[in-house]
Amino acid sequence: MIEDWSGAYVSKTVVNRGMSAWSTTAEEVGRTLPKLADDVESYLSTAPWGGGAEGQAFYKAHCGDGGPIEMVRQAKRLAEQIVDAGDRLRAAIDNTLQTDADIRHDLTRMAREV
Encode pLDDT of 6-20 as tens digits. Answer: 777 778 788 889 989
What CA–CA distance (Å, rounded) separates 47 from 34?
Answer: 21
Residues 6+ apart with CB under 8 A from 66: 73
Closest CA to 37 of 80, 59, 69: 69
pLDDT for position 17 = 92
What CA–CA distance (Å, rounded) separates 14 from 95?
Answer: 16
State the average pLDDT for the chain.
87
pLDDT for position 110 = 81
Q: What is the pTM assigned to this prediction?
A: 0.63
Would you kindly state where each structural domain of the chain is located, as residue ranges? 16-113
- DSSP states of 4-60 as a string? --TT----HHHHHHHHHHHHHHHHHHHHHHHHHHHHHHHHHHT-TT-SSHHHHHHHH
Provide the phi-psi class of 7: left if phi over 0, else alpha when psi is between -120 and 50, else beta.
left
For 37-77, how does the pLDDT look when each residue is reduced to its tens digit (9 = 90+)? 999 999 999 999 998 999 999 999 988 888 898 999 999 89
Q: What is the three-class DSSP state of 3?
A: coil
**Does the pLDDT value for residue 112 go beyond 80?**
no
